[in-house]
Amino acid sequence: MTSPGLPAVGRLKLAGAAHLFLDLPAQFGDRLRQLPVVLRILLENVLRNAEGAERDAGAAALFAWLATGRSEAEIAFQPGRVLMHDTTSTPALVDIAAMRDALAEAGADPKRLNPCLPVDVSVDHSLAVEAYARPDAAVLNLQHEMRRNAERYRFLRWAAQELRNVRIHPPGTGIMHTINLEQLATVVGVEERDGTPWLVPDTMIGTDSHTPMVNGIGVLGWGVGGLEAQTVMFGMPTMIRIPEVTGVRLVGALGPGVQATDLALVVTARLRELDVTGEFVEFFGPGVTTLAAGDRAVVANMAPEFGATTGYFPVEARTLQYLRETGRVAEAIARVEAYSRAAGLWFDPAGEPRYTRTLTIDLAAVGMHVAGPRRPQDLLDYGATGQALQAIAFAPTAATQMPRHPVAIAAITSCTNTSDPRLLVAAGLLARKAHERGLKPPAWVKTSLAPGSPAAASYLRRAGLLADLEAAGFGIVGYGCTTCIGNPGPLTQAIAEAQRAGAAKAVAVLSGNRNFPGRVHPDLELSFIMSPALVVAFGLAGDAERDLRAQPVQHDAQGVPVFLRDLWPSRDEIDAHLAAAIEAKDFTRDFEEAARNPLWQALQAPTGALFPWDPRSNALRRPPFAAVTEGSLLGSYSAFPLLVVGDDITTDHISPASAIPRDSLVADYLVARGEPRDDLNVFASRRGNWEVMLRASFHSKTLRNLLCPRAPVAHTLHVPSGDIQPIWDVAARYRQAGQSVVVVAGERYGMGSSRDWAAKGQRLLGIRAVLACSFERIHRSNLVGMGIVPLRLPAGVHPATLALRPGDRIEIDAPAHALQVRGTVPVRIVRHDGTVEALAATAAVETALEIALLRQGGVLPAILEKTLAA
């Protein structure tokens, strides 16, 4: 066995040519098999990219992990590519455009600033369901999207033209994670080094928390904030602490009628209970091979809902089958098999690597489930929605013909559950049987089907199921995120009126992955997550309280009750239709055809190394923080709390993505700048305009600011004057007076989507530190990326126990030279009556690179400094 410091190089002959690879089994022998596969991939990455002492230390630390399943050591990870979507890429590309301006102003050539890794951008997050249940719905919705977002999309086309390594996948090509699975993932790639081809594992990061979906086919990747992605795309590694790895042993096989969605919901609930926050999760055991790669991807997709960084399934025969079914060429598939076997990355169903801890799930014991009505981890039997809703204790104050909890939205949506053809075919078969019995959804239900892949239309049509779905109201409304990201379009008038009158509390049913209050639609607090087939069933029932286990979905025209069991497709039916419907050539052909989107091609993009900002633009404005002169926010200072909030503050609370309410302060700002009040688009579409996003910060109906609980939405208390004003006005008053501000929060601050605007907004408000009981992983990293120091409150201290009163101030002692990884930061609460309480907070700073970024003022000044120095 070779010593750890000298990588052993193997050779494989593929398609007649010799390829080199790092031969981990030759170098590490039996010890390699003890490592979880995710750590073997990290090991390969360190050995290939690091040099000398850093390489040796990284490899040694990974093997030292075996002793306890834990490590405090950091390693540098260099992913091979970056995936973004239109709403995270727009601000990142705006930052790059602004940094190019800053370079030009500093006398440097702006063309020097380009990503050095491949960056794929999927334009999927801005499609809204305006039209539905009509044959031309997809065309109308695409036209609407293009019209609404034309300026931003012209900017994206400018970026694709002018920046090296940036590739944009236009509207209509599908959802980013589906595109990743079906088009981008190589699983094993080829890298040229000194003219020699090297085989390497396909690794990536994505600016979206559901990036781990690609873990389902053996690609190691995870979600990061936009800022972390910018560090990586500009050639800095992402430093990670060697993670704890929870192994989920799968045994048995799923029973009849049970679908991948049910398994994903069970895994989510079980792992949330275990608390795997920030850990890697890897699946092992004999049950893995009973799942198709499409099923695995559904489970892996929900890694952020488990709270984990990954949900990894190693490569094995069914991975190859998936690659074959989605049209990969034979040569590429042979490469995946040969390399994975030779490099020690091939799955062994009998293997038992060392994990930090393990959990066993018997697939045969998984039943049919839904999750909700407010969190994805709240698992319910599919017949128990009524009980869960009764616990909400809603008392109608007016009469209506509708049920008390009508289904307002029934959406087959999301990469999670529309990428696996099996799930869509099951929904189609249910729709067929409903169609045969003459069932239609009630008029108050807004129905939609928005697949992640344009190939879905081809295989559903070939199976004859598209017509049945259309007959049930579930015609295709487009290929994008739609309802999953909070773009379901307006509710039906009947629902809007019933809610306004207090006659009903409506509910969404969707095949998505998140259901926080307001996530799906600002006027819907309650949503259930479920498989596409169950979405069709609940959509037909129209009543979210209906116990579909015991009560009929509907009665047919003869008055005969139709139960779910009458409609539910058998496994054999699904298998037969899948076999007849799927053709591998659909995936490439339909994707390429969608990429030719004539509306996209017709957009006139500006040219030139510098983007020509338009001062009248309400979509794109040069952000102030992408500048050489932004200083560090570290220091010793006394601050006013700008907001004090409780537990589970999501990035939706901090920086909403959904529709801009027409009667909001943000709306007033845009209307004053010439925008029509009735078509303000969603917050997410304004992320290229920092002035809008500043005003959108903490714009949430459900956010409770403990400093002034009765303040209107997006208002807070200016302590010195006692005035309650919009948050950005209060922040500006503090800034003008030279006073510092901080935020105080409870557990899991920043949970939810990975949006970096949640951190950027706080930077624009002048927030220097966030003191919280705990932070969600990506948001913590984004805060650091914007130069804001996250501080963990000591155990037992919570905003509720701190009981901050107006006039209390917070003294923080965090000078740049003293800040340490997870070091103590002295904090003093100076009460308005002069009494003082001292606390020892902990810097929630995980790596030396993060310390360096905080000292430089964040990622963007660091990139500029590096480019200027090069």
Residue with Cβ nearer ligand SF4 (416 or 650): 416
Stretch that binds ligand SF4, among 173-181, 193-201, 384-392, 717-725 (CB under 6 A): 173-181
Minimum distance from CB of 9 to ligand SF4 (Å)? 38
Strands in 454-542 per DSSP E: 507-510, 526-529
Size of the site for ligand SF4 (CB under 6 A): 13
Residue with Cβ nearer ligand SF4 (203 or 515): 515
Minimum distance from CB of 513 to ligand SF4 (Å)? 5
d(CA 698, CA 758) in angstroms, rounded, equals 9
Binding mask 207-226 toward ligand SF4 (x if CB under 6 A, else -) reads -x-x----------------
Residue with Cβ nearer ligand SF4 (99 or 415): 415
Minimum distance from CB of 653 to ligand SF4 (Å)? 17
Does residue 513 interact with ligand SF4 by CB under 6 A?
A: yes
d(CA 551, CA 537) in angstroms, rounded, equals 12
Stretch that binds ligand SF4, among 172-180, 245-253, 392-400, 767-775 (CB under 6 A): 172-180
Hey, how many other C-beta atoms are within 10 angstroms of the C-beta on 255? 14
Question: Strands 74-77 and 507-510: what pairing?
Answer: unpaired
Residue with Cβ nearer ligand SF4 (485 or 827): 485
Alpha carbon of residue 16 to chain centroid: 41
Residue with Cβ nearer ligand SF4 (171 or 646): 171
| Nearest Cα to Cα of residue 479 among 325, 319, 593 | 593
- For 194, counting Cβ atoms within 10 Å of its Cβ (0-12 exposed, 13-18 middle, 19+ buried), the class is exposed
Minimum distance from CB of 488 to ligand SF4 (Å)? 12
Stretch that binds ligand SF4, among 169-177, 331-339, 363-371, 761-769 (CB under 6 A): 169-177
Q: Which helix (H) or strand (E) holds 193?
A: strand 188-193
Does residue 176 interact with ligand SF4 by CB under 6 A?
A: yes
> Do you find a cis peptide bond into 237, omega within 30 degrees of 0?
no
Residue with Cβ nearer ligand SF4 (33 or 374): 374
Contacts of 21 (CB under 8 A, 6+ apart): 9, 10, 11, 12, 198, 199, 200, 339, 342, 343
Residue with Cβ nearer ligand SF4 (81 or 577): 81
Stretch that binds ligand SF4, among 155-163, 410-418, 491-499, 741-749 (CB under 6 A): 410-418
Report the residue from 41, 43, 96, 175 that binds ligand SF4 according to the rule CB under 6 A: 175
d(CA 105, CA 140) in angstroms, rounded, equals 44
Stretch that binds ligand SF4, among 141-149, 174-182, 404-412, 598-606 (CB under 6 A): 174-182
Binding to ligand SF4 in span 530-559, by CB under 6 A? none
Minimum distance from CB of 688 to ligand SF4 (Å)? 18
Does residue 703 interact with ligand SF4 by CB under 6 A?
A: no
Residue with Cβ nearer ligand SF4 (208 or 228): 208
Minimum distance from CB of 177 to ligand SF4 (Å)? 5
Question: Are 376 and 515 contacting, i.e. CB atoms less than 8 angstroms apart?
Answer: yes
Minimum distance from CB of 59 to ligand SF4 (Å)? 35
Strand partners, 240: 75
Integer CA distances (angstroms), 620 to 149, 358, 802, in order: 11, 48, 41
Does residue 420 interact with ligand SF4 by CB under 6 A?
A: no
- The first and second tokens of residue 499, run together, are 């809610």
d(CA 281, CA 305) in angstroms, rounded, equals 12
Stretch that binds ligand SF4, among 175-183, 229-237, 552-560, 834-842 (CB under 6 A): 175-183
d(CA 490, CA 234) in angstroms, rounded, equals 40
Q: Which helix (H) or strand (E) holds 556?
A: none
Secondary structure of residue 222 in the 3-state scheme = strand
| Nearest Cα to Cα of residue 34 among 67, 9, 60 | 67
DSSP labels, 391-427 = TT----SS--SS-SSBEEEEEE-SHHHHSSHHHHHHH
d(CA 132, CA 475) in angstroms, rounded, equals 7
DSSP labels, 55-111 = HHHHHHHHHHHHHHT----EEEE--SEEEEEHHHHHHHHHHHHHHHHHHHHTTS-GG
Does residue 684 interact with ligand SF4 by CB under 6 A?
A: no
Binding to ligand SF4 in span 27-56, by CB under 6 A? none
Does residue 414 interact with ligand SF4 by CB under 6 A?
A: yes
Stretch that binds ligand SF4, among 259-267, 409-417, 688-696, 859-867 (CB under 6 A): 409-417
Does residue 415 interact with ligand SF4 by CB under 6 A?
A: yes
Stretch that binds ligand SF4, among 6-14, 67-75, 171-179, 688-696 (CB under 6 A): 171-179
d(CA 857, CA 630) in angstroms, rounded, equals 6
d(CA 477, CA 451) in angstroms, rounded, equals 9
Residue with Cβ nearer ligand SF4 (417 or 762): 417
Count helices and strands in the chain by DSSP H and E runs: 34, 32
Residue with Cβ nearer ligand SF4 (152 or 546): 152
Phi, psi of 624 (to 5 degrees): -70, -20
Stretch that binds ligand SF4, among 132-140, 251-259, 332-340, 411-419 (CB under 6 A): 411-419
Residue with Cβ nearer ligand SF4 (175 or 248): 175
Minimum distance from CB of 652 to ligand SF4 (Å)? 12
Minimum distance from CB of 625 to ligand SF4 (Å)? 26
Stretch that binds ligand SF4, among 408-416, 630-638, 668-676, 686-694 (CB under 6 A): 408-416
Question: Are 445 and 492 contacting, i.e. CB atoms less than 8 angstroms apart?
Answer: yes
d(CA 540, CA 361) in angstroms, rounded, equals 33
Residue with Cβ nearer ligand SF4 (366 or 481): 481
Residue with Cβ nearer ligand SF4 (753 or 774): 753
Stretch that binds ligand SF4, among 170-178, 398-406, 727-735, 764-772 (CB under 6 A): 170-178
Binding to ligand SF4 in span 459-498, by CB under 6 A? 481, 484-485
d(CA 582, CA 514) in angstroms, rounded, equals 29
Residue with Cβ nearer ligand SF4 (82 or 175): 175
Secondary structure of residue 669 in the 3-state scheme = helix
Minimum distance from CB of 484 to ligand SF4 (Å)? 3
Minimum distance from CB of 214 to ligand SF4 (Å)? 12
Residue with Cβ nearer ligand SF4 (214 or 670): 214
Residue with Cβ nearer ligand SF4 (226 or 512): 512
Residue with Cβ nearer ligand SF4 (178 or 697): 178
Contacts of 753 (CB under 8 A, 6+ apart): 208, 209, 650, 651, 652, 657
* Residue written as token pair 């025209």: 557
Amino acid at 845: V
Residue with Cβ nearer ligand SF4 (174 or 646): 174
- The first and second tokens of residue 89, run together, are 């890429």
* Residue written as token pair 């069914």: 318
Does residue 809 interact with ligand SF4 by CB under 6 A?
A: no
Minimum distance from CB of 248 to ligand SF4 (Å)? 21
Report the residue from 55, 177, 422, 699 that binds ligand SF4 according to the rule CB under 6 A: 177
Contacts of 185 (CB under 8 A, 6+ apart): 202, 214, 217, 219
Minimum distance from CB of 184 to ligand SF4 (Å)? 14
Q: Which residues bind ligand SF4 (CB under 6 A)?
A: 175-177, 208, 210, 414-416, 481, 484-485, 512-513
